[in-house]
């Protein structure tokens, strides 16, 4: 039976936009259905505003601490409203890339509305019943709100409201110390808010290598950010115009609360049952080809509940496009997925942690190069942190964790090496002096040093050789 479209994409964020644009450029007939604005979380309430706010706060911190470089300024005044204005300015500059006009120009039919499946092959939106050869669900995620007594009544912010603030909250309790809590906690603190980070776990950024997270935590404590770990918010009350947050039995009086306690997939209104698409509490179930339990319906991005990053949504989109338009042959490969948390110091990761690697292999070795021994890091006054490589005895790189200045940029050399299955020795190539990238080459060199230190026979042989040569 003839259908209306080759592809119907539901959700116009990081994943859906890539699928829609590329498919239309390949001459497929594509409809993109968006319930709000094109751009998704990343543009409006995620990556773009958070990184812009972080930049404003980084500058504030550097100016405040410029005396060690012999630079004195008048007392720094932070105009929070203008800092937030800068955030909105950046969004407005990037927004045309995701505008409906641009996508219509690619040949995508952009439909605004929130629809639902009515059977395994039909999606209804704005009263229209649309059919397609394939569908892609890319509806993203929203903040998960923990069931805390009084929280809804007292009121709170999430990433969806926090970038619209025009006045600085004098104090802020942040529930959750994952990437959102840590990035925004430090940014708000540096812009003048008293911040308390509350984590139910014993580690900030619990998905990261523990010793890398510890470097971030040390910096937070040094700056003055209050941290409460191993504790949950039990209750919230309104007292004298303030918000009283009970963390276990510790009372905390704050002006505002930011909830950053993980994500929930956006799938409730899609009527997935009618389409034969199953899901779990984290997201939609898919196979390695990103097909849902209805093979004509694909899904990508945060709605899968896996790696929730813009670049992963784009990568998944690149798998979905050929599978949905042509033949479902391509499979996802998550061996080399990098990500970074943009705290100061930054924390970047690719591949396995040491604990994960040791569970899987019995020939794991660790190479750790401190930034303190990298001259450029000293020159820049940022000697904290390290690069830690998890390798196997044959030099295969299983994972890398860089915490320090520009870590998110530095990790890409490792990503390239891992993607092409290059051994750690590949990173020993000549690196420009003095650069932060030397942290990678010096870490790689540690293996050569380690091997040489262990090889007493070679050392004795060399000693004998030089003794002999001197006597000639």
Ligand X SMILES: NC(=O)c1ccc[n+]([C@@H]2O[C@H](COP(=O)([O-])OP(=O)(O)OC[C@H]3O[C@@H](n4cnc5c(N)ncnc54)[C@H](O)[C@@H]3O)[C@@H](O)[C@H]2O)c1
Pairing of strands 122-125, 141-143: unpaired
Q: Residue 462: phi, psi to the nearest 5?
A: -65, -40
Distance from C-alpha of 416 to C-alpha of 162, rounded to nearest angstrom = 36
Q: Residue 319: phi, psi to the nearest 5?
A: -85, -40
Neighbours of 289 (CB within 10 A): 18
The one-character DSSP state at 302 is: G
Q: Which residue, 187 or 436, has its beta carbon nearer to ligand FAD?
A: 187
Helix (H, G, I), strand (E, B) or coil at 429: coil
Neighbours of 360 (CB within 10 A): 11
Q: Could you say which of 18, 60, 270, 340 contacts ligand X (CB under 6 A)?
A: 340
Q: Which residue is nearest to ligand FAD (CB)?
A: 13
Q: Residue 175: name the closest of 82, 68, 261, 273 by CA.
A: 261
- Assigned token pair, 105: 């120009």
Distance from C-alpha of 140 to C-alpha of 125, rounded to nearest angstrom = 18
Is 205 one of the binding residues for ligand FAD (CB under 6 A)?
no
Q: Which residue, 206 or 395, has its beta carbon nearer to ligand FAD?
A: 206
Q: Is the peptide bond before 27 cis (omega within 30 degrees of 0)?
A: no
Q: Which span sits near ligand FAD by CB under 6 A: 133-141, 246-254, 278-286, 355-363?
A: 133-141
Helices (H) and strands (E) in the chain, counts: 16, 21
Nearest approach in angstroms of CB 124 to ligand FAD is 11
Residues contributing to the annotated binding site: 51, 115, 139-141, 176-183, 262, 302
CB 36 within 8 A of CB 16: no
Q: Could you say which of 21, 22, 212, 313 contacts ligand FAD (CB under 6 A)?
A: 313
Is 180 one of the binding residues for ligand FAD (CB under 6 A)?
yes
Nearest approach in angstroms of CB 41 to ligand FAD is 3
12 is in the binding site of which of ligand FAD, ligand X, none (Cβ under 5 to 8 A by kind)?
A: ligand FAD
14 is in the binding site of which of ligand X, ligand FAD, none (Cβ under 5 to 8 A by kind)?
A: ligand FAD
Site string for ligand X, 195-234 (x = CB under 6 A): ---xxxx----x-------------------------xx-
Nearest approach in angstroms of CB 355 to ligand X is 17
Q: Could you say which of 133, 242, 311, 428 contacts ligand FAD (CB under 6 A)?
A: 311
Nearest approach in angstroms of CB 133 to ligand X is 31
Residues that bind ligand X (CB under 6 A): 146, 175-181, 183, 198-201, 206, 232-233, 260-263, 308-309, 339-342
């Amino acid at each position: 039976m003839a259908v209306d479209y080759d592809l119907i994409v539901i959700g116009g964020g990081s994943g859906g936009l890539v699928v829609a644009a590329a498919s239309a450029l390949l001459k497929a007939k594509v409809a993109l259905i968006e319930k709000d604005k094109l751009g998704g979380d990343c543009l409006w309430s995620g990556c773009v505003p958070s990184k812009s706010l972080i930049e404003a706060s980084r500058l504030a911190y550097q100016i405040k601490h410029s005396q060690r470089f012999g630079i004195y300024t008048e007392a720094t005044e932070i105009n929070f409203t203008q800092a937030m204005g800068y955030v909105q300015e950046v969004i407005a500059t990037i927004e045309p890339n995701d505008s409906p006009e641009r996508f219509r120009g690619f040949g995508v039919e952009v439909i605004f509305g929130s629809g639902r499946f009515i059977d395994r092959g039909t999606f209804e939106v704005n009263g229209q019943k649309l059919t397609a050869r394939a569908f892609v669900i890319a509806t993203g995620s929203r903040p998960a709100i923990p069931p805390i007594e009084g929280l809804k009544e007292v009121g709170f912010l999430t990433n969806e409201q926090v970038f619209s603030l025009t006045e600085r909250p004098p104090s802020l309790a942040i529930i959750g110390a994952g990437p959102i809590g840590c990035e925004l906690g430090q940014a708000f603190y540096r812009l003048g808010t008293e911040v308390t980070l509350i984590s139910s776990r014993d580690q900030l950024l619990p998905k990261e290598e523990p010793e890398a997270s510890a470097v971030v935590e040390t910096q937070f404590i040094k700056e003055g950010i209050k941290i409460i770990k191993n504790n949950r918010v039990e209750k919230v009350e309104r007292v004298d115009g303030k918000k009283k947050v009970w963390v276990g039995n510790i009372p905390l009086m704050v002006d505002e609360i930011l909830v950053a306690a993980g994500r929930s997939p956006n799938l409730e209104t899609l009527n997935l049952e009618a389409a034969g698409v199953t899901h779990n509490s984290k997201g939609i179930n898919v196979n390695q080809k990103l097909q849902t339990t209805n093979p004509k319906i694909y899904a990508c991005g945060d709605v899968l509940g896996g790696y929730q990053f813009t670049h992963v949504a784009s990568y998944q989109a690149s798998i979905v496009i050929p599978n949905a338009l042509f033949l479902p042959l391509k499979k996802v490969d998550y061996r080399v997925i990098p990500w970074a948390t943009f705290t100061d110091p930054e924390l970047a990761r690719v591949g396995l942690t040491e604990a994960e690697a040791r569970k899987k292999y019995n020939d794991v070795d660790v190479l750790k190069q401190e930034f303190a021994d990298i001259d450029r890091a000293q020159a820049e006054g940022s000697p904290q942190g390290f690069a830690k490589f998890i390798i196997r005895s044959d030099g295969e790189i299983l994972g890398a964790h860089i915490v320090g200045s520009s870590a998110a940029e530095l990790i890409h050399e490792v990503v390239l090496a891992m993607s092409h299955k290059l051994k750690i020795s590949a990173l020993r190539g000549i690196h420009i002096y003095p650069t932060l990238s030397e942290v990678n080459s010096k870490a790689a060199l540690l293996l050569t040093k380690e091997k040489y230190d262990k090889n007493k026979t070679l050392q004795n042989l060399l000693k004998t050789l030089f003794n002999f040569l001197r006597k000639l």
